[in-house]
Amino acid sequence: MKFNIALLAGDGIGPEVIEQAVKVSDAVAEKFGHEITWKPALTGAAAIDAVGEPYPDETHEICASSDAVLFGAIGHPKFDNDPTAPVRPEQGLLKMRKKLGLFANVRPTFVFPSLLDKSPLKKERIEGTDLVFFRELTSGVYFGEKGRKDDGNTAYDTNMYTKEEITRLARKGFEAAMQRSKKLCCVDKANVMETSRLWRETVQGMEKEYPEVEVSYEFVDAVAMRLVQWPKDYDVLITENLFGDVLTDEASVISGSMGLMPSASLGTSISLFEPIHGSYPQAAGKNIANPMATVLSAAMMFENFGLLEEGKVIREAVNKALAEGIVTEDLAEGGKAYGTKEVGDWLAKNI
Amino acid sequence: MKFNIALLAGDGIGPEVIEQAVKVSDAVAEKFGHEITWKPALTGAAAIDAVGEPYPDETHEICASSDAVLFGAIGHPKFDNDPTAPVRPEQGLLKMRKKLGLFANVRPTFVFPSLLDKSPLKKERIEGTDLVFFRELTSGVYFGEKGRKDDGNTAYDTNMYTKEEITRLARKGFEAAMQRSKKLCCVDKANVMETSRLWRETVQGMEKEYPEVEVSYEFVDAVAMRLVQWPKDYDVLITENLFGDVLTDEASVISGSMGLMPSASLGTSISLFEPIHGSYPQAAGKNIANPMATVLSAAMMFENFGLLEEGKVIREAVNKALAEGIVTEDLAEGGKAYGTKEVGDWLAKNI
Ligand SMILES: CC(C)[C@H](C(=O)O)[C@@H](O)C(=O)O
Ligand SMILES: CC(C)[C@H](C(=O)O)[C@@H](O)C(=O)O
């Protein structure tokens, strides 16, 4: 197969980790006879510096005309703690999500047996955890009407959802549940919010299409508790944008392997793949960042193209690297620490 | 001193745990020469069954004319998973909060050294945790305009905050910080929400009134992570209603002592005290529920009246009971389990 992949390296450690994912993907392409054309484009603080805009039109055109987007990380300290600055990297992120129609953010949380000790949670609580969130990403309070009244002394945000938006997100969740253990949890706050009541009604209405899937409905506050208490109780979870923002970040802590967690954002025609970690500016340019989450994001990309074998060889290479201690300093535990580039080289060689 | 205390036992285990708190409070009153008149009133499912309303006007009048409210728990399985039922216990809760003006929900999370092993988190992560949330309780998306459009196919909720609402909540947080370690964290989502930007601006504007307090601003998703990773990093946290709902429940898991955590909801003229646990209907009437959270809520009530010594003797009695194993089955760990009533009797005797 032939692919065009937009390559949005972004800020901080983004360029370094992306470089390794490209290396590994190229090795996979060679092994399986695919051809990947990488299309680099500017985003984040890097784009603001270059053209004054975090998601320039040119970048959008490159993304929209590609088969997928591989994304590094965005964010720079000079924009931190100034959420009122006129131009900020996150705005680019939101604009990109909306313009590319990336409506389903897929965030798996799973454990690597060799890394269980890194979790803040006790081993017996997390062993075997394997859950995945489907977070709605292009609606809700992120994109609803917001503003000020009374000379700026009153502020408001509107959370809004349509049945269609809920249905297409929920369908992704039901489909994933069918491939997994047929358990789906819809997370809402239906005892307080009207949008949540529409979520619940809509998902209830879809249950008959998936008679094998056992659906539960839980309140967001209860899930915030139970995720830490009994993460193994969950399998597929679906939720709205803001709840998903909070819960997927909370869940990412469970495994103790945050630096390894990939994600996908699925759209109707194009999808994006990125590590869940941030741009980690303190580590930028030092060849110390862990590239594995980005490499695993590339695995998700192949799998999303239906190329399951290609995804599998990447996952196997990562597992082998972990087992053999070919890891960056965050995982080295007193053993030898490899550089970002060296880990990438090793993975590419082991494809 | 003389007090009238409205007594809202509520549902499930509510009446049993409330009974013990009354016993202990009466022992305290006797010891210190106070006089408490208890004013029982209906709430929750119990009130719906009796008068068709979860927070009847009569109950409100009793609360409004008392010096404080001691609250058990509400909720009944027959209302579960039916957030669209016309009358539900939670509606009574929200109505009560609004009508009594209980704008600041105070939720401490601290650890009992003897119970550290009960936490899902590793001991070294939680040892010494002592944080307190101030959650805004009478505004935000809970009380904003909500509804449907497009024949019910679109739903919306409005989150709204005024500067005054933010200021009075934040002031409670700053004052608590002054009494504690002078660290305050304002939790928001100012990179996305206009209400959050108003929160941040308002709190920033108050910093000069409390020059000794070191204020940090963190995004709700980051706090959801860091609370589990490094709970000891936090001291006083302030936040809006919905974020507070999720984060205080998440935080309650940290200590492993959820059954022991009290809370207060402060109003301008009247305040309410209640355990954070639910009505636990499966345990109702069995004399097995742990009354300590409710007893500690009574301690917060005395402290809120400025009666610090009275609060302290209650806390000491609870600590002594824990040390001597005078505990209900949830904490018995294979040792002897005492009944709800027996623990209450023991605590009252040890005042
Ligand atoms: C940067 C921010 C706007 C963004 C969000 O809230 O969606 C981030 O937290 C995320 O989850 O990707
Ligand atoms: C029952 C529900 C409406 C309530 C809330 O969301 O405030 C509860 O979760 C709480 O935190 O007291």
pLDDT tens sequence across A215-271:
999 999 999 999 999 999 999 999 999 999 999 999 999 988 888 999 999 999 999
Assess whether pLDDT exceeds 70 at residue A114.
Answer: yes
Ligand 2 atom 8, closest CA: B245
Task: Check if CATH label 3.40.718.10 holds for domain B107-259.
Answer: yes
Sort strands A271-275 and A236-239 into parallel, antiparallel or unpaired. unpaired
Give the mean model confidence (pLDDT) for residues B6-31.
97
Give the mutation target among A43, A245, A252, A265 for probing the ligand 1 site: most ligand atoms within 8 A of CB.
A245
Averaged pLDDT score across all residues of chain A: 95
Could you give the CA distance from residue B201 to residue B220 in angstroms, rounded to a whole number? 16
pLDDT attached to residue A183: 98
Which residue puts its alpha carbon closest to atom 1 of ligand 2?
A: B90
Residues near B35 by beta carbon (within 8 Å), at least 6 away in sequence: B1, B2, B3, B29
Q: Is the CA virtual torsion A164, A165, A169, A174 positive or negative?
A: negative
Between CA A87 and CA A89 the distance in angstroms is 7
pLDDT in tens, A13-49: 999 999 999 999 999 999 999 999 999 999 999 899 9
Residues B30 and B24 sit within 8 Å (Cβ to Cβ): no
Provide CATH 3.40.718.10 ranges for chain A. 1-101+268-351, 103-260
The tokens describing B219, both together, are 């995004």
C-alpha distance from A15 to closest chain B C-alpha (Å):
23
- B interface mutation test: which of A191, A254, A276 has the most B CBs within 10 A? A191
Average pLDDT over residues B295-307: 97
| Residue from the list B88, B160, B191 with its beta carbon closest to the beta carbon of A154 | B160
What is the bridge-based pairing of β-strands A154-162 and A146-149?
Answer: antiparallel
Instruction: Give the pLDDT score at A287.
Output: 98
d(CA B224, CA B16): 34
Q: Which residues contact A22 (CB under 8 A, 6 or more apart)?
A: A7, A38, A70
pLDDT at B143 over 90: yes
Residue A221 identity (one-letter amino acid) = D
Question: Is residue B17 over pLDDT 70?
Answer: yes
In order of A8, A13, A63, the CA distances from A39 in angstroms are: 8, 19, 8
Residue A87's pLDDT band (boundaries 50, 70, 90)? confident
Q: How many CB atoms lie within 10 A of CB A83?
A: 20
Amino acid identity at A87: V
| Nearest chain B Cα distance for residue A321, angstroms | 26
B156·A157 Cβ contact <8 A: no
Pairing label, strands A183-188, A214-219: parallel
CB B83 within 8 A of CB A191: yes
Question: Which listed residue (A245, A330, A341, A345) is catalytic?
Answer: A245
Closest to B304 (Cα-Cα) out of B265, B275, B252 = B265
User: Is the CA virtual torsion A137, A141, A144, A147 positive or negative?
Assistant: negative
Burial of A110 from C-beta contacts in 10 A (0-12 / 13-18 / 19+): middle
- Which residue from A184, A199, A191 is spatially nearest to A221, judged by alpha carbons? A191
CA distance B312 to B296: 10
CATH 3.40.718.10 residue ranges of chain B are: 1-101+268-351, 107-259
- Report the pLDDT value the prediction gives residue B126, as an integer from 0 to 100: 96
Beta strands in A138-182 (DSSP E): 146-149, 154-162
Residue A210: the pLDDT is 98
* d(C-alpha B252, C-alpha B258), whole Å: 6
Question: Between the CA of residue B200 and those of A84, A242, B138, B161, B177, what are the distances in Å?
Answer: 10, 18, 19, 12, 17
Query: Looking at residue A214, what DSSP letter applies?
Result: E
Of A48, A149, A110, which is closest to residue A319 (Cα–Cα)?
A110
Ligand 1 binding pocket (C-beta < 6 A) is A 90, 93, 245; B 191-192, 221
Ligand 2 center–CA A299 separation, angstroms = 40
Residues A274-327 have pLDDT tens digits of 999 999 999 999 999 999 999 999 999 999 999 999 999 999 999 999 999 999
Listed residue (A224, A289, A303) closest to A260, CA to CA: A289
Average pLDDT value for chain B: 95
Non-local (6+) Cβ contacts of B96 within 8 A are: B43, B55, B59, B60, B63, B102, B272
Is the CB of B73 inside a 6 Å radius of any atom of ligand 2? no
Pairwise CA distance, residues A298 & A293, whole Å: 9
What percentage of residues in chain A have a pLDDT greater than 70? 99
| CA dihedral of A327, A332, A338, A339, whole degrees rounded to 10 | 90
Give the other-Cβ count within 10 Å of B64's Cβ. 15
* Dihedral sign computed on CA atoms, order A118, A122, A124, A125: negative
A314-323: long-range contacts (C-beta < 8 A, 24 or more apart)?
A314/A24, A314/A28, A314/A347, A314/A351, A317/A24, A317/A347, A317/A350, A317/A351, A318/A260, A318/A292, A318/A347, A319/A112, A320/A350, A321/A292, A321/A346, A321/A347, A321/A350, A322/A112, A322/A114, A322/A115, A323/A114
The pLDDT of residue A225 is 96
* DSSP letters for A31-49: HHT-EEEEEE---HHHHHH
SS3 of B146, please? strand
The pLDDT, as a whole number, for residue B81 is 59
pLDDT band at A80 (very low <50, low <70, confident <90, very high): low
Find, in chain B, the residue whose alpha carbon is nearest to that of A86: B191
Q: Give the pLDDT of residue A91.
A: 86
Residue A192 near residue B145, CB atoms below 8 Å: no
What would the DSSP string read from start to end of A218-268?
A: EEHHHHHHHHHH-GGG-SEEEE-HHHHHHHHHHHHHHTS-GGG-EEEEEES
pLDDT recorded at residue B60: 98
B135 is an annotated ligand-binding site residue: yes
Cα separation, A167 vs A99, in Å, equals: 20
The pLDDT assigned to B334 comes to 84
| Amino acid identity, position B220 | V
**Separation of alpha carbons A309 and A317, rounded Å:** 12
Q: Backbone phi, then psi, for A122, in 5-degree steps?
A: -70, 145
Ligand 2 close to Cβ of residue A192 (< 6 A):
yes
Tell which A residues from 233 to 262 touch B, by Cβ distance under 8 Å. 242-243, 245-247, 249-250, 252-254
Residue B295: its H or E element:
helix B292-304
Q: Tell me the residues of chain A between 160 and 189 that have a Cβ less than 8 Å away from chain B.
A: 160-164, 189
Determine, for residues B192 and A147 on separate chains, whether the beta-carbon distance falls below 8 Å.
no
Distance CA B45, CA A160 (A): 31
List CB contacts (< 8 A) between A242 and chain B: 189, 192
pTM of the model: 0.96
- Going by their DSSP bridges, the two strands B130-136 and B102-110 should be labelled as antiparallel
Beta strand A214-219 with A35-40 is unpaired
Query: Averaged over A81-98, what is the pLDDT?
Result: 83
Q: Is B221 a catalytic residue?
A: yes
Q: Is B67 a catalytic residue?
A: no
Distance CA A193, CA A243 (A): 12
Q: Is B142 on the interface with A (CB under 8 A)?
A: yes
- Domain covering A103-260, topology: Isopropylmalate Dehydrogenase (3.40.718)
List, in order, residues 6 or more apart from A347 with CB less than 8 Å away: A20, A23, A24, A27, A291, A295, A314, A317, A318, A321, A326
Domain B1-101+268-351 superfamily per CATH: Isopropylmalate Dehydrogenase (3.40.718.10)
A221 labelled catalytic: yes
For the segment A122-181, what is each residue's pLDDT rounded down to a tens digit? 999 999 999 999 999 999 999 999 999 999 999 999 999 999 999 999 999 999 999 999
Q: Which ligand is nearest to the CA of B248?
A: 2
Express each pLDDT in A334-349 by its tens digit. 889 999 999 999 999 9
CB of A117 less than 8 A from some CB of B: no
* Model pLDDT, residue B11: 93
For B36-92, write each residue's pLDDT tens digit: 999 999 999 989 999 999 999 999 999 999 999 999 999 887 776 576 677 888 889
Beta bridge partners of B134: B106, B238
